[in-house]
Chains A and B, each alone.
Chain A
Amino acid sequence: MNLRERLTHLDRRWLFLLMGLALLAPLLMPLKLPFAQDRMVQDIYDGIEKIPPGSTVLVSSDFDPASAPELYPFSVALYQHLFQRDIKVVVMSLWPAAPPLVTKAIDEVKKGVGGKPGFANKQYGTDYINLGFRPGEILVIKSVSDDIRSVYSADTQGGRLDSYPIMNGVNGMKDFAAMINVSAGYPGIKEWVQQVQSRYGVRMACATTAVAALDYIPYYKSGQLFGLSAGMKGSADYEKILGVDGKAISGLDTQNIGHLLIIFAIVLGNAVYFLGRRKP
């Protein structure tokens, strides 16, 4: 069996092994290649910098563990930034598996991430609150915007919203200085923009997965989103701006090598194809 035949009948598990190694290597030996900043992420940062300290921001955390590698680092960086600015954070979720990820991210930030000091002084219920998940998708978005208490009578701890100082005077979308959506799909950015941004004119920014980001760039271009973070690269950009040495920056190495390996697989596949064609 010559090389061509061997390659034609290559067991794809060899490719899997190669990919596994390629993804593992940078995690063990980070390269930390420099990268250029994405304008859309810089805009998220700038937008949040303009929010006066003491304001309240709504974060809708709409993703699950599957997309956590791309979006969890963004969440961490986001809470880091909001806490740094002394902005109060109200978090809700349209995805059932999201609330524990919210708690985890905020706890991480409170302890201190990526070489940053922690925020041990941030109090649950005063500086931030996790309202949790409610089923109903678009209906939840609509109702929360008009009257939060019509959907959330209690938070994830089971306490009444009125018992938390942070919810004092916070009734609907008009009481938030901005809305930030971390979204991995449906329901997510499109629904928030259509139901809330266009109706209430609220300042809104989003983070989403790399594959979905293309669909939302028009919203950014039209000014409906003041910023947009796409996938792990976006999260890494945000970490870089904040000076946090986080998971996305090291994750980017993995993406680097991963993309190169896929390109290698394409080239190899084509080489086999052309070698095969030459032979009658």
Chain B
Amino acid sequence: MKKTIPLIVTFITGVIMTVEYFSPHPLVQHPKAAIEKWGISVMSAMIVLGTLNILIVNLPRIVRKERDWMYKAIMVAAMIATAGLGFYEQGKFDDKGSFSNWMFTHLLVPLQSTMFALLAFYITSAAFRAFRARSVEATLLLAAAIIVMLGRVPIGELLSAKLTGGALNLPDLVSWINDVPNLAGKRAIMVGAALGAISTGIRVILGMERSYLAG
């Protein structure tokens, strides 16, 4: 019973959401709209569970002073402070004078930018150790990567114009690489993924895949 009902719900929902694309009839569209609304409500309510989970997982560890408990304490304190201030200031985080806005500008912006900027460093180290001409395919990939990287910045444009006397325009070559071989590969992956998604969808709707159901 505990598994049958969820399987029936999955089946009915899956069928409605599939048929919905093809049938504009209100008898199909209305249930679909209702299911969408329920979905949004459930998802929004989940944030409460998430917050509780953070507290349940971290508070005992902080109390027991487990390894790295200080990081967890900082996280929990930051979470409570941010939420508390948000409630206190009634969400006016666009107001320049507000403390929420101060936190946004002076904490969130630099933190996010820092994390994103890490990419530049990681790309360098990944380029150094992973991008190797091990095979013909890898060499092609390598050459294409270098051309695209050069073609995307002014210096590549300058170099290609100077070195070939204007015969080769690197940005044009880059466009070709992007529009032709790259797009072809991308579409192939997308078609494959879409078919995979359909067969996964059918397996779930038919209840063949049920590992997501806890007994």
Contact = CB atoms under 8 A, between A and B. Distances in A.
Q: Which one of B101, B112, B127 has the highest number of Cβ atoms from chain A below 10 Å of its Cβ?
A: B127
A269 B128 CA distance: 5
A27 interface: no
Given A23-B120, A66-B113, A69-B113, A268 B155 contact: no
A135 B40 CA distance: 10
Contact of A132 (B94, B120, B124, B131): B94
Contacts, number: 121
Interface string A256-280: 1011111101101110011000000
A252 B153 contact: yes
Contacts of B153: 35, 233, 252, 255-256, 259
A127 interface: no
B101 A262 contact: no
Contacts of B157: 35-36
B154 A256 contact: yes
Interface stretch (B2-10, B71-79, B144-152, B197-205): B144-152
Interface string A101-129: 00100000000000000000000000000
B133 interface: yes
Given A256-B155, A263-B149, A64 B128 contact: no
A169 interface: no
A100 B101 contact: yes
Contact of B154 (A66, A68, A139, A252): A252
Interface stretch (B16-24, B54-62, B103-111, B207-215): B103-111
Contacts of B121: 15-16, 19-20
Q: How large is the interface on B (under 10, 10 to 19, 20 to 34, 35 or more residues)?
A: 35 or more
Given A252-B154, A259-B149, A100 B128 contact: no
Contact of B112 (A64, A158, A259): A64
A103 B113 contact: no
Interface string A129-150: 0101001100100000000000
Chain B binding site: helix, strand, loop or mixed by DSSP?
A: helix
A210 interface: yes
A210 B108 CA distance: 23
Contacts of A270: 131-133, 142
B116 interface: yes
Chain A binding site: helix, strand, loop or mixed by DSSP?
A: helix
Nearest to B105: A100
Contact of A261 (B44, B124, B156): B124
A66 B128 contact: no
A110 B133 CA distance: 52
A34 B128 CA distance: 29
B123 A262 contact: yes
Contacts of B158: 33-34
A214 interface: yes
B120 A266 contact: no
A42 interface: no
A12 interface: yes
Nearest to B115: A66
A270 B154 CA distance: 25
A224 interface: no
A171 interface: no
Nearest to A259: B149
Interface of A: 10, 12, 15-16, 18-20, 23, 33-36, 64-69, 97, 99-100, 103, 130, 132, 135-136, 139, 156-158, 210, 214, 217, 233, 252, 255-256, 258-263, 265-266, 268-270, 273-274
Given A33-B158, A259-B150, 8 more contacts: A12-B125, A19-B120, A35-B153, A65-B109, A68-B113, A214-B186, A265-B124, A268-B128
Nearest 6 CB-CB pairings of A with B: A35-B154, A66-B116, A65-B109, A265-B128, A12-B125, A156-B94
18 contacts: A12-B128, A19-B121, A33-B154, A35-B153, A64-B112, A65-B108, A97-B104, A100-B93, A157-B94, A158-B92, A259-B149, A261-B124, A263-B149, A269-B131, A270-B131, A270-B132, A270-B142, A273-B133
